Structures are given as C-alpha cells and as structure tokens.
Amino acid sequence: MRDRLVLVTALLVATAALGGFAAPAAAQPDATYETCEFPVTMTDATGEEITLEEPPERVTTTNPSAAQTMWEIGGESQVVGVTQYAMYLDGADEKTDVSAERGVDVEKVAGTEPDLVLAPNASAGQVQALRDAGLTVYHFPEAKTTDDIAQKTTTIGKLTGNCEGAAETNAWMNANVDAVSNVTADADRPRVLYPLGSGFVAGGDTFINATFTLAGTNNTAATVADGYPQISDEVVLELDPEWIVVNSRGDSALDEEPYASTTAGEEGNAVYLEVHWLNQPAPASVVNTIHDMTRQVHGDVYDNSTYVERSEISVEAEDEADSDTEEPTETTEVPATTEAPETTGDGTSGDSAPGFGAVVTLVAVLGSALAAARVRQ
C-alpha cells in the first residue's frame, strides 16, 4: 500500500512538472515594421502627393544623407545617381555623379532615368526644376532630431521597398543612442563649439546640436541662436568652449584667435570628427558621431563595448509579431515518441518542443519511485 502511495505521489509530481514545462521564450525583436506595399502614395514636404506603382528600380539622390540612408537600408543597388559628397560610400564611384557647382545638375539627374528622385531639405531650391524635367521627386523636410531621421529612414524604406532594412537601421541607431546615453548619464557635460568658418557656428535646433547633446556635451552656441548663426569673437570668448570640434576637412582652430584664448585653446582640447558623419543627417551619421565624440570627450567612462553591432539587431514584420504572441492553449500535447532531438554540439537541444523535456522528467521521477519501492522490498 505504501509503495502505491509513493508511485501515486511520484505520478502527481511528474504530471505537475509536465504542465509547468514550456518552450523557451523566443527573443523579442528590437522593432517591428509594416511590410512594404505597392502601389504606395505619400505626401512630401512640399505637399506634393507621390504615387509609385511598384518599387523603383532606379533611384537618384540629390544629397549625401539620402544616399547614405539607401546604403544603410540595403537599397544601394537601386541607386543610379549620387552627388560628389556621397563618394565615401562603398561603390558610390560606380554611380553617376549628378553634382553641379552648386547643388545638382538637372540634366545629369534626368540622364540617370530615375524612377524616383530622393531630395533632402538642402535641395529645396531645385525640387521644382527637377519636376519640370518630368521627374518624380520626393522632397524631405529638414531633419533636426533622431526622431526626424528615423521618420525619414522609414519613408525612404516605404518608397523604395526596403521596409525591413529601414526598421533594422532605425533599431540599430536607437540602440546605440540608448547605449551612449547610459554611459554619459552621470558624466559632466562640457561646453563644445563647432566653428564652420568666417564666424559661423552650429547652433541650436539642428541635427549637429542633437548629436552633441546625445554625446554628453553642451553645444554652447545653442545658448546664442538656433540654426547656423555668425557670431563675433567677443561672443566666442564669452561662451568659452571647453572643446572645439574639428571636422576632417578643416584645420584645427585652436591656434587661431579667438579660439586660442578659450579654455579649449589653452588646454588643447579638440574633438576630431569625420565631416560626412558630422554634417549628414542620417542613421550612420548619428551612430558614428556620438560614439566618436563620446570616446574623445568621455574616455574615462566610454569603452568599445558601448557600441551595438548591427548583427545584434533583429526586427520582425508586424503580422509575424502578432502570430508570435498568440495565446497558448491550456493543454500540453505529449509527443508520441521519445526520440532524442539533435543536439547543437554543446550538449543542449536544438529542438524547442516542450513535450520532450517533460516526458524525460516523468520517466525519471517514476523510475526513482520504483527504485525506492524495490529497495524497501
């Protein structure tokens, strides 16, 4: 009788274990996205309604930020025309250079026979001329924040059929923004200044100002004016930046007045940043600028592990995400066979079916109970 009680107890324990076993939760994606659908109709910054019947096979960009974004979302093979300042991108030298002395050459753009022209804010003055040439042009508003850049990236993805790539790019950018922000959360925020030449500086309400803030610094020119104001030497001395930002195409201003007489000049504090990351509002620009700046200014708290690799990011279509979150049934179906699944080489199972582990537990518990009963016999 006692042996039967042991067996019944073991069976109840094993059954409870069976109900409690479940498949490991699938890793949650970093972002979800709407799958691209064509025809697609979108309204641009000029109020123009753009309709594309199918994904464009030929895309020309009139500014490097749009080209950079196309490369990042996986659409570089669709690009047939770029400007001279996008030539740093891998393979851009194989595209048609549509640059003019200022802006783009409308005839060169038309010569690329584009299905779509992507025209960021800097091309505002040429949008109508491009349309008069019979081209389909989507014009973007000025991107001043990472949210603006994310929206621009999503739009380019929808227009070109690269929705998944756009979502992954934005998730990667946002992950790096969060990582850098965590590193600099408790750090002092030194005053920085980015001279553009002839007294002009990068002020507030700009993409550049946003990246400086994300990198744990205070853009001191933002206290004077928004945009790209021209300020006097006296104002520079009053602002007294602790760091001067120098782009890769410019010479350091630290040895020149009035910058030489600031704290930055006296201490030799220069932040060197690549101009194509610093001046182009696009996802890779955000990621590279904030990491490069934080590494130089906050080297005491920053290390390379802060960087989030693109390979660490995963995204999922919204309809797939919905199916992943379906409510599980209350009953667990035990497999008809107890064949061991293939292992991954480290002793762990490559099969996530919940029933197998539960069956093993049931057999093990019952076996132990029977063994104990035999010992008592």
Q: What average pLDDT score do residues 212-229 get?
A: 98
In a domain, 56, yes or no: yes
54 shares its domain with 167: yes
Are 118 and 160 in a shared domain?
yes
Q: pLDDT band at 188, cuts 50/70/90?
A: very high
| Band of pLDDT at residue 187, cut at 50, 70 and 90 | very high
Same domain, 44 and 122: yes
In this prediction, residues 172-181 reach a mean pLDDT of 98
**Segments forming the whole domain that contains residue 351:** 2-22+328-376
- As a whole number of angstroms, the distance between CA 44 and CA 51 comes to 11
Distance CA 156, CA 355 (A): 45
Out of 34-43, 162-171, 208-217, 366-375, least confident range: 366-375
Residue 317 lies in a domain: no
If one counts the domains in the chain, the total is 3
Task: Say yes or no: 70 and 134 in one domain.
Answer: yes
Same domain? 253 vs 344: no
pLDDT of residue 323: 55
pLDDT value at residue 20: 44
State whether 44 and 115 are in the same domain: yes
What confidence score (pLDDT) does residue 322 get? Answer: 59
Residue 107 belongs to a domain: yes
Do 227 and 293 lie in one domain? The reply is: yes
In a domain, 161, yes or no: yes
Omega of the bond leading into 29 within 30 degrees of 0 (cis): no
Measured in degrees and rounded to the nearest 5, phi and psi for residue 133 equal: -85, 5
Rounded Cα–Cα distance for residues 256 and 235 (Å)? 15
**Average pLDDT of the chain?**
83
- Which of 335, 373, 313, 229 is CA-nearest to residue 32? 313
User: What CATH number is associated with residue 141?
Assistant: 3.40.50.1980
**Do residues 246 and 270 both lie within one domain?**
yes
